[in-house]
Amino acid sequence: MSEKKLLRKRIEASKQLNDLMRDYFYRMDRVSKGEEEGKIAWCTSVGPAELLSAFGFQIHYPENHGAMLGSTRLAMEYIPVANAMGYSPEICSYLTSDVGSYLKGETPLSKAYPGIESVPRPDVLAYNTNQCRDVREWLEYYAKEFDVPVVGINPPHGMAEVLPGHIDDVVQQLKDLIPTLEKASGETFDIDRFRESMRLSRECSELWGDVLGLAQNVPSPWTFFDGCIHMGPAVCLRATQEPIDYYRALKEELEQRVADGVAAVEGEHLRIYWEGMPIWGKLRALSEQFSELNACVVVSTYCNSWIFSAFDETRPFESMAQAYTELFINRSEPHKQTHMERMVREYKVDGIVFHDAKTCPNNSNSRYGMPQRLEEELGIPTLVIDADLNDLRMYSEETTRTNIEAFIEQLEENK
């Protein structure tokens, strides 16, 4: 058999991305070491980052660290360490990888950024259980370890519609965080700084939405796998100016690809929706497999989770409560289905791959009949892959490869 030449197109903005992330990690490291003024907050990825930013905190995201542990596959060294101390292999493998790496006193940041010996030491921890209960357990563990305060929001779950009562509840919970944050930061709450954080975050979020939306073009200028890499600034730096500049550059580059008809996947023939978490340790392998099969993964609910359209600096508390409570992950099954149906149409999707992540039930949407309903109602084929975001013990390489290959064969038959 002849080997197929792979055309993996480098995104030029990647260099800017690498610089941005490097500066972010070194800045936090300097603050953590006391070489630079400031305080560190740890925050869940869809937590109240903009509020923390308004107090001048540098923000570390344990989930981002978890994704780094997954993509470097170091997670496989650390998960068993956390399991052995009582954290079940069934709970979030971001949590178990991160706690395991903490217990071993290691971090992938050290290899990527020489001089960084550990994740930055927190002054305060803030969570939002809009995603799951695990994030709270995770940060509460570190609160004890570092003897620092932990605050959080516990919004209502599974709503078909986000009602004013829900918003009032979350707004009050957000306001209740302020005294602890003032004490931890040594700064008084300033509504104008908060408004500015919200404005910057909204702008970042809109640009992130724009670049993701470019994948609606046929052929698509980039893939879900590219998005997983390039989403770093939208998560970690979203209440600052830097990601805004970065996404403008990325958008320009991708728009040029669209204008030139440049496809991310050479000979794009099929367009796929990836539902659920990435399989971080297999991101590259999966990207290559889809590419070889002329299939472009054009859309995901995962990458789209950092588009906070509701942010409005004129109503900072209310709009933050709205944006963080109306997230896909926090909604009812019918709402999720309607959202997916819209994405299938907008991105001209041929088939949907559901990742059923063993340790992430909240972000595995194949468990209540969604694939079957979408097949029936949209006539679109679906595939469910059993794996995990970080725990590769749950991943069967050959079974997954065969499933994807067979799925593509099925889609080709119907194309």
Partner 1 sequence: MEALKLAGLQREDVGSVVATGFGRRSVSFAGSIKTEISCHSTGCHYYYPEEITVIDIGGQDNKVVKLNASGRKTSFKMNRKCAAGTGAFLEEMAYKLDVPMSELEGLARKSATGTELGSFCTVFTATEVLDRIRGGEQLEDIIRGLFNSVAKRILEMDRLTGRVIISGGVVAHNPIVAEIISERAGVNVEIAPHPQEMGAFGAALYAAESQTIQHQEDNQLSVARR
Which residues would be at the binding site for partner 1 (CB under 8 A)? 1, 375, 381-382, 384, 386, 394, 396, 398-399, 402-403, 405-407, 409-410, 413-414
* CA neighbours closer than 13 Å in the CB half-sphere of residue 144: 6
Of 82 and 411, nearer to partner 1 (C-beta) is: 411
Residue 413, amino acid: E
In the bound complex, what is the minimum distance in angstroms from residue 398's beta carbon to partner 1? 6
Contact 172, 267 (CB under 8 A): no
Of 35 and 398, nearer to partner 1 (C-beta) is: 398
Residue 176 is encoded by which pair of tokens?
A: 């209740």
Of 268 and 386, nearer to partner 1 (C-beta) is: 386
In the bound complex, what is the minimum distance in angstroms from residue 356's beta carbon to partner 1? 8
| Bridge partners for 357 per DSSP | 387
Find the radius of gyration of the CA atoms of the chain: 21
Backbone angles phi, psi at 42, to 5 degrees: -100, 140
In the bound complex, what is the minimum distance in angstroms from residue 258's beta carbon to partner 1? 33
In the bound complex, what is the minimum distance in angstroms from residue 374's beta carbon to partner 1? 11
Closest CA to 106 of 146, 80, 62, 69: 69
Of 332 and 410, nearer to partner 1 (C-beta) is: 410
In the bound complex, what is the minimum distance in angstroms from residue 378's beta carbon to partner 1? 13
DSSP 4: P
**SS3 label, residue 9:** coil
d(CA 31, CA 50): 19
Of 5 and 144, nearer to partner 1 (C-beta) is: 5
Tokens 């519609």 sit at which residue?
161
**SS3 label, residue 144:** helix
In the bound complex, what is the minimum distance in angstroms from residue 371's beta carbon to partner 1? 9
Closest CA to 331 of 363, 306, 359: 363
Of 56 and 381, nearer to partner 1 (C-beta) is: 381
In the bound complex, what is the minimum distance in angstroms from residue 63's beta carbon to partner 1? 25
Residue 258 is encoded by which pair of tokens?
A: 């669209």
Of 94 and 407, nearer to partner 1 (C-beta) is: 407
